[in-house]
Amino acid sequence: MSHSSMWDSISGIIQRDLLLAMRRWSDAAMSVFFLVIVVSLFPLGVGPEPAVLRTIAPGVLWVAALLTCLLSLSRVFTPDYLDGVLEQMVLVPQPLSLLVLGKVLAHWVISGLPVVLLSPLLGLQFGLDGEALGVLVLSLLLGTPTLSMIGAIGAALVLGVRGSGLLVALLVLPLYVPVLIFGAGAVTSSMAGIGGEANLSLLGACLVLSLFLAPWATAAALRVALE
Amino acid sequence: MQWGSASEFFAMGGYGLYVWTSFLATALCMVWEVLALWRRRAAARAEQRAAMLGGTDETAA
Amino acid sequence: MIWSKYSAPQAFYPLAGRLIPWFAAVAIILMVVGLYMGFFVAPTDFQQGESYRIIFVHVPAAWMSMFLYVVMAIWAGVGMGLNARLSFMMAQAIAPTGAMFTFLALLTGAMWGKPTWGAWWVWDARLTSELILLFQYAGVMLLRTSIDDLRRADRSSAVFALVGVVNVPIIYYSVQWWNTLHQGASVSMATGSKMAATMLMAMLIMTIAFWMYSIAVILARVRCVMVERESLPTWDDKPAVIHEAVEAR
């Protein structure tokens, strides 16, 4: 397959999924509200001590990003599974992993990108300052696509399985741990004055690795689910 | 041999609680696993037997 | 190839049945020898006193937890590649034993950490990644039980097992990559061992004993799985049952 037709099939899927998401914009809005509410619960639970809030900020924001991604995972494949589009996708000549990549990127635009864009505001609530805020945004920008990539594997595995909501959390959250550690670690080390570069490059490595492996594993899981 | 007496052996230089809990837990897990497998095997066989004798004699299981 | 003969469950079932007593016997003998060496031959550690003796179960359990995961993933991969039922059954049979050793590694690690570090649990890289390994075993088993269709259950849990295998090198190298509280590898190919020869010997004997135990238990479990799954007669070892069945007809 030529280069351009590969890109065409990916961008076609992305455009379609984004269009569908725009028609049901309330779904995406719910993720954003969920994120804001979860993050706001912590100052209320832990207390408004600024020093404490600054210390827990990277972890809280990253865990909230993880949960937001997790909650939106059922939207990656389930609608297409229910109306039969997914079965068509398995049959088309384009490699399934490419179509999966397109769907995952669309999922990231819908549920990951809002988290990245909103994070400086949430960081300010926790008293993060200039450089740490920048590292937070950068870490989320590198990390949230990885979350979508890994999450798609889980979403494909539990497609149509009873109790899939809890099961997908159980499967996916352990695999999220490295991303959480590196992401929150980048912000923490930049706040400590060490600089977040080491953790950011590890996040980048995770992203590259997941870009190569996850669509392939997701496609295998989808084939198993649909046969 | 570094143990002067049995009580010295069981005390493990003051670490007896930790050492013996570890070894006991390991032993219990292994024994439990073997027993569970034993029961699983018996259950699987009984079910199979019932299936083979099914229809003619339900009480054989 | 002789192996292809045993890849059919009907042939593997009696073979496994014959092998189990041998592996079990070797496991018991080695455990007795290993425990004797560990408690009566190996000297007291000059730094950690007697508490170090926990490593005679801790290190073998931790090694087996990682090793069994890799073996499970290999069987899962073979199952996916060759579409072999027996491979999926082996993967299914390995998971509970692997999970048990992961749990034991964490538990005995806590028993060792309390007197040595003063805490039952610390959030360092090796402990955390071992905990994740436990969750992965749980995920593999729960995914299987949640799916009713056997064929999909086999394959889905195989895909998840294969994805999770990336964690194993992270656990193994975590003590080298991150400067953590957990002590470095006790045995290293490059630098040789830092331990007394008898300590090392006892640990290796216990590891082989746990390995043989695992094989015996896994073979026993895969036989159960075969009986539960295939509606075939118990292939070898109860001809009486079959006679009974025939006569009842």
User: C76-106: per-residue pLDDT in tens?
Assistant: 999 999 988 899 999 999 999 999 999 999 9
Q: How many domains in chain C? A: 1
Task: Identify the segments of chain A with pLDDT beneath 50.
Answer: none
Distance from CA of B61 to the nearest CA of C (A): 11
Instruction: Specify the higher pLDDT residue, C33 or A198.
Output: C33
Of residues B2, B23, B25, nearest to C44 (C-beta)? B2
> Which domain range does residue C187 map to?
30-43+52-248
Which pair of structure tokens corresponds to residue B47?
A: 């079910």
Angle between the A130-157 and A50-71 helix axes, to the nearest 10 degrees?
Answer: 30
The pLDDT, as a whole number, for residue B4 is: 78
Chains in contact with A, where contact means 3 or more Cβ–Cβ distances below 8 Å, are C
The pLDDT, as a whole number, for residue B57 is: 47
Q: How many domains in chain A? A: 1
- Cα separation, C13 vs C237, whole angstroms: 10
The pLDDT, as a whole number, for residue A94 is: 83
**Local confidence band at C5 (pLDDT 50, 70, 90 cut-offs):** low
**Can you tell me whether residue A26 is helix, strand or coil?**
helix
Angle between the C55-82 and C125-146 helix axes, to the nearest 10 degrees?
Answer: 40
pLDDT, tens digit, 9 for 90 and up, residues C169-178: 877 777 666 6
Query: Residues of C at the A interface (Cβ-Cβ below 8 Å)?
Result: 80, 128, 132, 135-136, 138-139, 142-143, 146-147, 151-152, 155-156, 159-160, 162-164, 166-167, 170
Subunit contact A174:C142, Cβ cutoff 8 A: no
CA distances from C10 to A14, B44, C5, C7, C230 (A): 49, 16, 10, 9, 10
The pLDDT, as a whole number, for residue C63 is: 93
The pLDDT, as a whole number, for residue A163 is: 81
CB C98 within 8 A of CB C138: no
Distance from CA of B4 to the nearest CA of C (A): 11
- Cα separation, A66 vs A49, whole angstroms: 25
- In 3D, which of C147, C129, C135 has the Cα closest to residue C98? C135
Q: Does A227 touch chain C (CB under 8 A)?
A: yes
Instruction: Specify the higher pLDDT residue, C176 or C232.
Output: C176
ipTM here: 0.88
CB C174 within 8 A of CB C125: yes
**Local confidence band at C248 (pLDDT 50, 70, 90 cut-offs):** low
Subunit contact C241:B49, Cβ cutoff 8 A: yes
> Which domain range does residue A146 map to?
3-226
Cα angle at A217 between C102 and A79, to 5 degrees? 110
Instruction: Specify the higher pLDDT residue, A96 or C213.
Output: C213
Which pair of structure tokens corresponds to residue C231?
A: 């509606």
Q: Rounding to the nearest 10 degrees, give the CA dihedral for residues A150, A151, A157, A160.
A: -170
Cα angle at C26 between C21 and C28, to 5 degrees? 95
pLDDT, tens digit, 9 for 90 and up, residues C100-128: 999 999 999 988 888 888 888 888 778 88
Instruction: Please state whether the predicted TM-score (pTM) of the whole model is above 0.95.
Output: no
Contacts of C132 in chain A (CB under 8 A): 174, 177
Question: What sign does the CA torsion over B14, B20, B22, B25 have?
Answer: negative
**Can you tell me whether residue A195 is helix, strand or coil?**
coil
- Cα separation, C210 vs B25, whole angstroms: 14
CA distances from B22 to A203, C53, C67, C115, C207 (A): 38, 10, 21, 13, 15
Contacts of B33 in chain C (CB under 8 A): 96-97, 100, 217
- Cα separation, B43 vs C85, whole angstroms: 22
Helices (H), ranges, A47-163: 50-71, 74-82, 85-91, 96-107, 113-125, 130-157
Tell me: pLDDT of C189 over 50: no
Distance from CA of B59 to the nearest CA of C (A): 12
CB C99 within 8 A of CB C66: no
The whole-number average pLDDT for the span C179-199 is: 61
- Cα separation, C3 vs A154, whole angstroms: 34
Distance from CA of A4 to the nearest CA of C (A): 30
- Cα separation, C165 vs A171, whole angstroms: 13
- In 3D, which of C69, C26, C89 has the Cα closest to residue C228? C89
Please give the radius of gyration of chain B, using alpha carbons only, rounded to the nearest integer: 23
- Cα separation, C232 vs C234, whole angstroms: 6
Instruction: Specify the higher pLDDT residue, C4 or A24.
Output: A24
- Cα separation, A176 vs C44, whole angstroms: 41
Task: Identify the segments of chain B with pLDDT beneath 70.
Answer: 1, 54-61
Which pair of structure tokens corresponds to residue A145?
A: 């696509």
| E-state strands within chain C | none
Of residues C146, C155, C164, nearest to A167 (C-beta)? C146
Cα angle at C13 between C7 and C15, to 5 degrees? 85
The pLDDT, as a whole number, for residue C208 is: 96
What residue spans define the domains of chain B?
A: 25-61
